[in-house]
Structure 1
Amino acid sequence: MSAYPYHNPYEGLSGTIDIKAVREAGFQERRFDTGTVRLNYVAGPDNGPPLVLLAAQMGTWESYRRVLVPLSRRLRVYAIDVRGHGKSSWTPGEYSWNHLGADMTAFLSEVVRAPAVVAGNSSGGLLALWCAANLPGRVAAAILEDAPVFSAEMPRFRDRDRFVYEGLEHLAETLGDPHDRDLADYFRGLTLPVSETREKRVPDWFVSFLSRRVRAFRTRRPGLPVDIPYLPLKLRLLLKCLSMYDADFARAFVDGRFYEGLDHADALARVSCPLLVLHGDWRRVPGRGLIGAMDDEDAARIGRLVPHSRYMKIKANHVIHMSRPRRYVEAVNTFLTEDVKGEFATPAGRA
């Protein structure tokens, strides 16, 4: 266990959905106790077979806000806050693929209770891969949305493609103490390479601005996740998610605890269900490595290990379902109709 045990201060908050379109479409926020952790999730109306969505690290179910309603027209959609995120339990010292896999085993068995399509973005995609490899009776198909397959394995993650590793290291250092952290500190010193010789850096004045806004919010609304509605949506969601995020989740990637239970090549070789690989933009910068989740060789290697998989390249940033929601929904529907078929195929007259 961690030397700094702590609990999610937002775990017991009301499950009222404040996104009007999602609420009106029939989604409800619920909690599920696995016996080890409590998982927060939203569930849509029973309009078809189940689709389970897993957000990227630092993300919550709200990252799917632009696609929940259109997906729910033909599916029973679930979106989960994995442990360490959102209103789900924080478990410092207990983050690994095996821990998250146990949570998913319980959720699919006791909540979904039918073979489901499991779709995940980034680390959520790796968790979807874990499910496809280890729970064949519970997973009808899997969708890896710009998942860091191969690139998030040691030693490559730390030694070759360091950009994401360094970002997680920075996060763990700046937000690692949940009792004394300024969310704006995460942005202090952050850089994004824009070419081989030039980087963009978050300006100090902007960090100071965010720090003041966060303090003002917490003074006015103590005990609530930080949610500043006048900020751009992506920044607003990032701040809210960071306020509900256990930085030990990131620290587990940095110190090596997380990797227990998932060998990427071995898992892919055991995938027998239909598999969709969505691949966003990427590039490589000297000294920083891969800017993105995987390169073209990684994608080709997945294809060799899972010959029956479908690959789609989408010009989009890492969170495809947020930056290109319509394209994401189209890709999912095409996959379900043409590759999964059966009860997941589009019924006549329904989009």
Structure 2
Amino acid sequence: MFKGILINKDEQGYHAALQDIDDGVLPEGDVSVNVLYSTLNYKDGLAITGKAPVVRAFPMIPGIDLVGIVEQSNSKQFHVGDVVIQNGFGVGENHCGGLAQKARLKSEWLIPLPAAFTPKQSMIIGTAGYTAMLCVTALEKNGVLPDQGEILVTGANGGVGSFAISILAKLGYTVVASTGRMEEASYLKTLGASDIIHRDTLSNPGKPLAKERWAGVIDSVGSHTLVNACASTKYGGTVTACGLAQGMDFPASVAPFILRGITLAGIDSVMRPIADRKEAWQRLGEILKSDDFDNIAQEINLEQVIEAAGNLLNGQVRGRIVVNVQAN
């Protein structure tokens, strides 16, 4: 038996609880892991609260991220004692995830913990930081350079937004952060934002084309925010889309694409090939330093997860939540 968050759905409805879990609940996999840390992402919040049909099978242990020590392996890639990272691949949705003290996973989903990071630091980064790095890489590959102008980061106080600001600033970009919590302006400027705008300037229906401002955009919000970001992106610029905090809809015009030649790049972190993952984590190791983690995360234990999931969906969380699954 081990402790973890377990989600069930029955005639009484949908419910998540911290409980003792039998090893038999864990699905098939060739690597068993003693989990050290997990995280709370937006998708985890949806899964735990039941506010969206994220979970595909029951019972389910949520948690799309984890880092832990291999305790049993039938894989030639990983051996007992190795420290490994798991991000995505449907874990926490249709395969039991990281918000528990044990996990059983497929070896092809795992990568070794990068030498640049401690286990806790790797989960402060988690899917959020790894996704932010994928977005920055997409901007770079599409030729968006620091001297071309401002980069807009929406959902700036969230995990993706926080890491996107930090990474971009360290690479020499001028970053404008969009947030609904202007009281967090000092936090965002500490990360490297040069200017802060209120999310209301982007979140309502706008014109098909607006004044050109952004050389590039990292958007984790979707809906009208993404539409307006596209409408105000400079000729030839690139907008990366990786989230849907405002909504899944995209009520847009083709005008920015056919009149200004902008690129809308979709960023998927869940099924990303291992080679791309390793590249992203390597670059994170080169860019981020130990003091970059000081203000970006808070640590909680498993007993605090369910309450924190609700706070996350209500926009009451700044930066990242890392979960010490072994803590009392």
Of Structure 1 and Structure 2, the greater helix share is in 1
* Fold shared, TM-score > 0.5 on shorter chain: no
TM-score (norm 1): 0.26
Structure holding more strand per residue = 2
TM-score of the two chains, using structure 2 as the length reference:
0.27
